[in-house]
Every structure is written in C-alpha cells, then in structure tokens.
Structure 1
Amino acid sequence: MTLSELLENKANEIRKETLLIHKRAIETRVASSLSPIEVFVALYYGGVLNYDPKTPLWEDRDRFVISKGHGSISMYPILADLGFFDKSELENVCKPGSFLGGIPDPIIPGYETINGSLGHGLGVASGMAVALSAKHSDSSVFVLVGDGELNEGSNWEAIMFAAHNRLDNLIVIVDENKVSMLDFTKNILDISPLAARFEAFGFECFSVEGHDVTSVQNILLSAKEAKNKKPKVVLAQTIKGKGVPFLESHPLSHILSLKPDEVDEIIRGLDARD
C-alpha cells in the first residue's frame, strides 16, 4: 500500500469513527468536525508533525493548536489510534467522568490549549512560536482556525504580530468550509479573498483542495520547510459536513445533529464507496 492510499484509507476510517462518536454523543458538532479530517490525517500520518504519544509534552515536539476546538472531535479517534490514550475511551465521549468532552481541553493527551472561546488560538500559537524561536528550537507551530472564526478581531491582531516578528515557524491552517454558525460566511461577514488579505499582512499563502489528503500533506510539508522570515497560511478548501450529503450544502449545518438511524445509513453509504 502506498502512502497516498494509506492516508486516504485513514481519512475514510476517521470519518466513520467521527460519525459513530456523534451517534453516541449527539451534542458534538459533527459538521464542523467532518471538514478538517484530511488536515488532521495529513498532519499525524503524513510525516508532517513531530510528536511522541508516550510523551505528549516532549520538548522537541511540533505544537498543534486547534483553535476551532468544537470542530475537532475527529481528532479523538486519531489520538486514540496513535496511542495517546486507550481506544476504549471513545465509547465515553461527553459522558460523566470522561476527559473527552464536546469542547476539548488540555486534559486530553495531545491537546495543547483550551479551545472553547473562538478567536484565541492564533494568538496563543504566535506566542508559542516566539518562545520557540527565542530558544533556537527547530520545532514548528501549526494552528487550525475556521474561516468563520476569522471574523474575530483578535485573529488579525495575531496575524499582524506574527508577520511583524517574522515567525516563519508558524503555519496557520484555515478550514475554509464557507459556513459559519448561522449561515454561509459570505452572508455574515464576507472577508474574501482570504489569500490577498493574508498576503497584505505579510504572510506567505498556500491554497489546497482540503479533501485531497495527499495534496494537503505535500502543501503542509512545503509550508513547514519554507524558511523565509514569513509566517505561512494554508487555505484548505473544504466542505462542511463532508461525507453527509444533506449537511454539505446546508447553511445551518453547524448546529444540525444526526439521528442514530441516519448515522447508520451514512456509514453504510461510505462503506459502499470503499
């Protein structure tokens, strides 16, 4: 099996696992968690991130800050698969006593930050990048933000800060799925074209089809390796609710939940495509 096939198979597996988690914990944000799956798979299985599941706070690790925490439930099966915690914990998401909640926080091995209030992850990641640079560390800092989240002004303060400090160890990944909480992003606050905006602030910009996992892997590796005194941004063109047809084009997909029988039907459809 080639690496590309491995990555594609893993993305399909994680998509089904995410749906099963939502079936057991209906309060999870399923549409938001389906759009960045290929990004997560590329980072963790594609040789992009340096990490050690046995020592999650290993000093020489790359940092990955997930600012849109509600949209990262698909990280749970990845972290369990890699050995950050036991796979049996996936049965307990959102249950009393479980450390796997609807909004992840650093109690979960593999998570760096608190991820509830949107708009803060990019600032925290920029601070991490400054600290690592001051220590002459070779580690990189990745941060995933939502395109709707970029309506928060604190993000643009962090973007100015990162460019001013020439943080070429910082890679911002925008999950550009074009749907915010209550409508399409263009109808709430249109900040397109994102590439031109980031470039105007001094970032080097990359764009990629966000569900082509091999392309995502290659772009992330290129962004990580580019040392040119500029922070990087990868605009991942994704589909909110990817894999669930009625969610993929729904302006309210962010707040919609699936019934157990709907999840079963969707998974049968995904299995038929494999």
Structure 2
Amino acid sequence: MKPQFNPSTLRKTVVEMAFAGNAVHLGCAFSIIELLSRLYGRHMRYDETDPDDPGRDHLVLSKGHGVMAQYACLYELGWLDRNDIDNYFHDGSRLKGLSDAHVPGCEVTSGTLGHGLSVGVGLALAAKRKRTGQRCYAVIGDGEINEGPIWEGMLFAAHAKLDNLMIIVDANGFQAMGTTDEVMQLGDLNAKFAAFDFDVLAVDGHDMDAISTAIEKLQAQENGRPKALIAKTVKGKGVSYMENVNAWHYSRLNPDLYAQALREIEGTSA
C-alpha cells in the first residue's frame, strides 16, 4: 500500500527544509502540495522500493523551483532521509533549490523554465513506442507558459498523439516578478490547450477529490489526444501570511515566522 501523503505533513516538511537551509520558493512549493499528494498517493505507478524502476510512471517537475514539495513526497516514500531534510541547501547536501536528476525520484534537472516539458514529451513518446503503458505527468507553472518551448512541446505532443502525457498547470496567477496578467497575459488557458488538440479540464488545485476525478476522467479518454489539467491554485497555500503574497517567491523565514507557519500548519492537520 502506498504511503498516505497528508498535505499538512508535506507542508510541515517544506517549512522545515526552508528554515534549515535559509531558502526561498516556499510559495511556489505550497501551491502544488495537493497535486503532488494525489499523484504520488493515488495515480502514479512506481515501485516504492526502487525510484529507478524502469516501469515507473514519470513525474517531470518542469517548474523546478517548486521542488521542496516533491522532496517532501520523496521523504514520505523513504527515498530521502531526515539528514536530507535537516541539511537542505547546506554545503555538501544533495538537495539543491531546483529539481536535480541526480536525486532519487527526480526525473529532470529543471529550473531553466520551459525545458522540462520537452523532456516529459520525450518520455511519453518513448513509452508509446515501447508500448509499456507508462504515463508521464509534467507539472508546469503558469508563468512558465511564457516560454516558447512550452508551445513547441505541446505541438509535438499533439502531433505524436501522446495521450499518455498529462500537463498539469499550476495556475496560481503569479510568477517571480508579478502577476501573470501584469507580466504576460495568458488569456483562456482552457481554450488555448484545446486549440493545440489537448483534452482539457480545469479543477480546484487544492480539492484532492476533485483532482482525482479530473485525472481519471482525462485518462479515460484514450483517443490519441494529450491531456491538460488546469489547476487553479493559491500561491503560499496553507500559511496565512504567505497566501497570494508574491514576496514569498523569494522571502526567507525568520524564527518567528517559522514558528507561526508551524502553528498554522499543525492546526490544520487531520
């Protein structure tokens, strides 16, 4: 049986890592907690004893700066240990502030935005050609959609009929330097993905049951069309002073804010 990925537990681990490493990118990790929780806890196929299992489904974190959320999941799986968490971002640590393919469970080295999706497209194509039945989930940020390679990858995914590829958009409305509307208006993402021949659904990215229902509905359509899940999320979700405050893209925790974050997160634990 797969571990139960409790969002409050995952957020607590993220806060502990960020404080230990005096690190940034909490807001963009918190917005994808429920999404990763559902992927690892219910939908992805993998061997819990072997992160390099050749038959595994792939999770490509193209928005690599949100990697603390993935690290928290890998810790729950036992693929990372407490020493990794307590020494996050320290000299000599294997855990860096961006996704790194050298870490067990991380498929790509990302952080240069726009490129992870192309790796995911390649993994989905390989699975199709080998007829392995593997799926690839590529998590991208809405600000990342500004990058041209995202659209190139989408064009190829539709051309190659990769219905085993699901792009999950973390649509939190922010990017590093402002709102997505201020920096580069994205318009109707549902319509844009549909125009690129994707099957598309929108969902509340913090409603875990709704996330699972949407994923299952998209996967049931084995029609040669790649899939897109537009997840409406809250940047900094779960800690009151971080929610929808874009300063928490680059802000760091001090002891008082760390203690407050833990109190709030532990107060929501089930």
TM-score (structure 2 length as normaliser):
0.94
**Is the aligned partner of 1:94 residue 2:89?**
yes
Residue in 2 aligned with 1:45?
A: 41
Q: Which moved more, 1:123-132 or 1:241-250?
A: 241-250
Partner residue of 1:20 out of 9, 16, 22 = 16
Q: Which moved more, 1:104-113 or 1:51-60?
A: 51-60
Q: Which secondary structure state, in structure 2, belongs to the residue aligned with residue 246 of structure 1?
A: coil
Read off the aligned partner of 1:206 and give its amino acid letter.
L
Q: Which moved more, 1:196-205 or 1:17-26?
A: 17-26
Residue in 1 aligned with 2:204?
A: 209
Question: Retained in 2: the 8 A contact 1:179–1:254?
Answer: no
Structure 2 alignment gaps of length 5 or more: none
Shift of residue 77, structure 1, vs aligned partner? 2.1
CA distance in 2 between counterparts of 1:260 and 1:144 reads 31
Partner residue of 1:116 out of 103, 111, 117 = 111
Read off the aligned partner of 1:152 and give its amino acid letter.
E
CA distance in 2 between counterparts of 1:27 and 1:83 reads 23
1:233-272 matches, within 5 Å, as: 233-272=228-267
Residue in 2 aligned with 1:76?
A: 71
Question: Retained in 2: the 8 A contact 1:28–1:73?
Answer: no
Question: Retained in 1: the 8 A contact 2:8–2:268?
Answer: no
Question: Retained in 2: the 8 A contact 1:140–1:224?
Answer: no
Structure 1 alignment gaps of length 5 or more: none
Q: Output one character per residue of 1:43-64: Cα deviation in whole Å (capped at 9) or x when no partner.
A: 1112x00112322121111011
Question: Retained in 2: the 8 A contact 1:53–1:110?
Answer: no
Question: Retained in 2: the 8 A contact 1:147–1:176?
Answer: yes
Q: Structure 1 residues 191, 27: closer, same or farther in 2, change over 3 A?
A: same
Partner residue of 2:145 out of 123, 138, 150 = 150
CA distance in 1 between counterparts of 2:82 and 2:214 reads 30
Q: Which secondary structure state, in structure 2, belongs to the residue aligned with residue 243 of structure 1?
A: coil
Read off the aligned partner of 1:202 and give its amino acid letter.
D
| CA-based RMSD | 1.5
Shift of residue 201, structure 1, vs aligned partner? 0.8
CA distance in 1 between counterparts of 2:211 and 2:254 reads 31
Q: Which secondary structure state, in structure 2, belongs to the residue aligned with residue 230 of structure 1?
A: coil
Q: Percent identity?
A: 34
Q: Which secondary structure state, in structure 1, belongs to the residue aligned with residue 200 of structure 2?
A: strand
Read off the aligned partner of 2:103 and give its amino acid letter.
I
CA distance in 2 between counterparts of 1:73 and 1:85 reads 12
Shift of residue 92, structure 1, vs aligned partner? 1.1
Question: Retained in 2: the 8 A contact 1:183–1:252?
Answer: no
Question: Retained in 2: the 8 A contact 1:34–1:243?
Answer: yes
Question: Retained in 1: the 8 A contact 2:24–2:249?
Answer: no
